[in-house]
Amino acid sequence: MSAETDFIWWKHGVLCEIWPRSYYDSNGDGSGDIQGIIQKLDYLAELGIDGIWLGPVNKSPMVDSGYDVADYRSIDPLYGTMADFEQLLAEAHKRNIHIIMDMVVNHTSDQHAWFKESRLSRDNPKRDWYIWHDRKRGRPPSNWKAAMGGGVWQWDNATKQYYLHSFFKEQPDLNWRNPAVRQEIYATMRFWLDKGVDGFRCDVLNYFLKDDQLRDNPTSLSAGIFNGFQKHLYSRSQPGMEEILRQMRAVLDGYKDRMMVGEVFVAQDGPAMAAAFMGDGDLCHLSFEFSLLFTKWDAARFKEMINGWFAVLSAKGWPCNVLSNHDQPRAVTRWAAGADTQKRAKVMAALLLTLRGTPFLYYGEEIGMPDSPIKRGDVMDTVGKMYWPIVKGRDAERSPMQWNAGPQAGFSSVKPWLPLNADYSEINVAAQEKDPLSVLNFYRRLIALRREKPALQRGGYEQVPSDKNILAYRRTYHNEEILVILNFAGERKVQAIDSSKRWKVLLGTQRSSESAIDKDGLAVYPYEALILEEDK
């Protein structure tokens, strides 16, 4: 099969995470909505993306911004109706854009009908859909810490038992050891697949199974505050997950071309676990691995992290790469706040779009949009409300998309649900469309190049020796060879290149296709991103 005919959208394409509340407000209530996304599909098609990961849109009391679902088969009125969602699917598909939904099934909202029933009595038929336990010697059944702080056990006075919540107490964990729960979730997957949804981003997959003997986690100071200073040996990532993943995969395999990408949130277990969730390409199609996202701005560290990630993948495992998402400060804020922001943003873009594996952009990344600093009075994320000022929450990276320099950045006709970034008059889509050297136009060219060059989409990856400030690698496919050179430093550096070959510039931040390449050692400009091809 030729590279052109076996294009698999989730493997060879480019995906983009959209935070629905912040993309575009079509009805003037200050919040983004599904109709708003429909209106921006042409923009996304022009950017060149193949799929959207849509943040959670199911009915939710929004204690965790939609990651607390009250009804899996509904659309929250904040975002629109089921008809709007079906229209989004149809309009996206017309433009060859796939839609994957967030599937948040480690836990439900405490407002979900199942939990309301479950907590009614100890013998309720839904009791065993959640994880209930008695007191153990007057104390909670285990010492496990929740991801949002405090313990995982919440006392329920009505039935005098604790229920388990890995996140907020309003997010009780489902009991994945109960076959009835599994069947219901698989039926829900089919409900959306039947509508034409192309796949799922599965929230915190590695939290589904907990130790059934409820053994205590060991204390570990090095695990840090976000892990509650304990190693989550028993409260997460337990054996048995493979069976669940196989069952989920079987549901997807009943349809054509559908996929799932797992969020395997394993700060402490490293990339090996993310790789294990893909099996030999027969479990999750992709799984997120966050070590790149947590790396410092340092070419040598990136080399290590990339090698570490690629080394643990099985023969059929496929990497997926992400630099920003809705849970962490944006990449430009982490790596490029202050000086040289746009230059560094282009280095990141070139990295993400030329690395082996499926790239996931985060909305606004393509214009180098930074976090929008948040004040106490504007906080929406419960994490920020609870832990301000030590932890300010995740609102800063969820701010409204900056469409133009007009009122409300062209996002809405009224004051948006979160404050706009003060710099939107400079950093916005309309301004960057007009500027051939903008970050946006660089992303567009990179995505187009990736589509054109099989070596970038699916080729092999090999690091090339370089200065410690440079990350250089070859991507090869059959007789196509591409060399990527990324200078992380604000100074000129020298990169040796194979002088037995002739090279031409495919794309670069500081050179054009006419630039000659000096074979005896290339003087790389500060923050230069350069993509060369062997000229045959």
Binding to ligand GLC (CB under 6 A) within 130-189 occurs at 167
**Among all chains, which residue has been given the structure tokens 């405090």?**
150
- Choice between 67 and 176, CB closer to ligand GLC: 67
Q: Which is catalytic among the residues 263, 371, 395, 533? A: 263
To the query of whether residue 203 is one of the catalytic residues in this protein, the response is yes
Residues near 343 by Cβ (< 8 Å), separated by ≥ 6?
A: 336, 490, 509, 526, 527
Strand pairing of 320-322 and 358-362?
A: parallel
The answer to whether the peptide bond before residue 389 is cis (omega within 30 degrees of 0) is: yes
Instruction: Using DSSP, state whether 449 is helix, strand or coil.
Output: helix
Cα 412 to chain centroid distance, Å, stands at 25
Count Cα atoms within 13 angstroms, Cβ side, for 334: 18
Give 3-state DSSP helix, strand, coil % of the chain, rounded to 5: 30, 20, 50
Q: Which of 17, 203, 481, 533 binds ligand GLC (CB under 6 A)?
A: 203
Task: For residues 322 and 320, give the distance between their C-alpha atoms in angstroms, rounded to a whole number.
Answer: 7
Q: Which long-range contacts (CB under 8 A, 24 or more apart) does 28-31 make?
A: 28/412, 28/413, 28/414, 29/412, 29/414, 30/412, 30/414, 30/415, 30/416, 30/417, 31/78, 31/79, 31/412, 31/416, 31/417
Shortest distance, position 103 Cβ to ligand GLC, whole Å? 11
Shortest distance, position 431 Cβ to ligand GLC, whole Å? 30
- Choice between 118 and 325, CB closer to ligand GLC: 325
Task: For residues 231 and 216, give the distance between their C-alpha atoms in angstroms, rounded to a whole number.
Answer: 10
Q: Which is catalytic among the residues 50, 170, 203, 533? A: 203
Shortest distance, position 69 Cβ to ligand GLC, whole Å? 9
To the query of whether residue 426 is one of the catalytic residues in this protein, the response is no
Q: Which of 47, 54, 70, 204 binds ligand GLC (CB under 6 A)?
A: 204
Binding to ligand GLC (CB under 6 A) within 257-316 occurs at 263, 265
DSSP letter (8 states) at residue 450: H
Task: For residues 423 and 372, give the distance between their C-alpha atoms in angstroms, rounded to a whole number.
Answer: 9
Shortest distance, position 76 Cβ to ligand GLC, whole Å? 15
Shortest distance, position 148 Cβ to ligand GLC, whole Å? 8
Binding to ligand GLC (CB under 6 A) within 65-104 occurs at 67, 104
Cβ distance 283 to 261 under 8 Å? no
Shortest distance, position 149 Cβ to ligand GLC, whole Å? 12
Maximum Cα–Cα distance across the chain: 78
- Residue nearest ligand GLC by beta-carbon distance: 67
Total residues at interface with ligand GLC (CB under 6 A): 10
- Choice between 162 and 265, CB closer to ligand GLC: 265
- Choice between 244 and 266, CB closer to ligand GLC: 266
Q: Which of 33, 64, 84, 481 binds ligand GLC (CB under 6 A)?
A: 64
- Choice between 327 and 467, CB closer to ligand GLC: 327
- Choice between 266 and 524, CB closer to ligand GLC: 266
- The tokens for 111 are 């407002």
Task: For residues 371 and 330, give the distance between their C-alpha atoms in angstroms, rounded to a whole number.
Answer: 6
Binding to ligand GLC (CB under 6 A) within 386-445 occurs at none
Cα 352 to chain centroid distance, Å, stands at 13
- Choice between 33 and 64, CB closer to ligand GLC: 64
Shortest distance, position 382 Cβ to ligand GLC, whole Å? 9
Residues that bind ligand GLC (CB under 6 A): 64, 67, 104, 167, 203-204, 263, 265, 326-327
List active site positions: 203, 263
